[in-house]
Amino acid sequence: MWTLKALLFDVDGTLADTERDGHRVAFNRAFAEAGLDWHWGEALYGKLLKVSGGKERLRYFMDNWQPKMDASVDTDGLVAALHRAKTRHFLELTSAGLIPLRPGVERLLREARAEGVRLAIATTTTPENVTALLSATLGEQSIGWFDAIAAGDCVPRKKPAPDIYFHALKRLGLDAKECLALEDSDNGLKSSLGAGIDTLVTVNGYTEKQDFTGAAAVLSQLGEPGSGFDVLAGDAGTATFVDLSFLRRLFARRRFPSGQAAIP
């Protein structure tokens, strides 16, 4: 019988709303610093988010939105340099406390720890972005709450490929059937489902109209007592915010549709 042993959290869009006012702003600061007249507005960035990975997104932009660069330009070197600068700017924004956790995230993390449900991260973003976000919002010791932080280039293929979730499961030493993933985007959901992990989706402004077929449930947010979520898909019963008992019920329904749940 399967019991819920770990929660695997995506970062960008799930732990925190990092894209519009974080990564996008950091990219634009890097472009300006490099003397480039590139500017990613909110709408264009929403289109570029189709591609996971900041370096891959830069390359996608250069290949599809910019005139072909002169053959003498070392485009690989340019992408690497711009991404390093962008990461520096993102870390500045994070450490300035400008990127808060989404509602309910801290409460759920602390509840999982208190009840012995293990925690992991499975993200496309650069590892130092993760540790900076956790340190700035929960304190440096919170990095140790996670038994595995699977991030960025540690796997050959980024989301929607399942590689990062397989890597996290391996680091946890758990079967996909013992876990739940929390995601915000279609790329993220494809990745977690591809690894066989049932997934709760909490959408944001960039992802709310995406296709979340296969998600255990789709909510507007995790919510807090007194400030509940909207249900976009799936059955939330009478719950108004996501806590561990909500996740256990979701897990049991997916794992044991006939109702013989193994809820401790």
Binding site for Mg ion (CB under 5 A): 10, 12-13, 184-185, 188
- In Å, what is the CA distance from 238 to each residue of 109, 165, 246? 22, 31, 10
Pick what 24 binds: ligand XBP, Mg ion, none; C-beta below 5 to 8 Å, kind-dependent: none
149, 205, 246, 254 from 125: Cα distances, Å: 11, 19, 28, 29
Residue in 126, 199, 202, 210 binding ligand XBP, rule: CB under 6 A: 126
Among 28, 123, 131, 207, interactor with ligand XBP by CB under 6 A = 123
Q: What's the closest the beta carbon of residue 53 comes to ligand XBP, in angstroms?
A: 5
Type of residue numbered 251: F
Work out whether strand 231-233 and strand 217-219 pair parallel, antiparallel, or are unpaired: antiparallel
For residue 153, indicate whether it is catalytic: no
The interface with ligand XBP within residues 176-195 (CB under 6 A) comprises 185, 188
12 is catalytic: yes
Establish if 10 lies at the interface with ligand XBP (CB under 6 A): yes
Tell me, by CB under 6 A, how many residues bind ligand XBP: 17
Is position 52 an interface residue for ligand XBP (rule: CB under 6 A)?
A: yes
- What span, in angstroms and rounded, lies between the C-alpha atoms of 228 and 242? 9
In whole angstroms, what is the distance from residue 133 CA to residue 94 CA?
A: 6
Q: Segment 159-178, which members bind ligand XBP (CB under 6 A)?
A: 159
d(CA 123, CA 53): 9
Strand order in the sheet with 146-151: 146-151, 118-123, 6-9, 179-183, 198-202, 217-219, 231-233
Which 196-255 residues touch ligand XBP, going by CB under 6 A? none
Residues with a catalytic annotation lie at: 10, 12
State the residues that interact with ligand XBP by CB under 6 A. 10-13, 19, 23, 52-54, 123-126, 129, 159, 185, 188
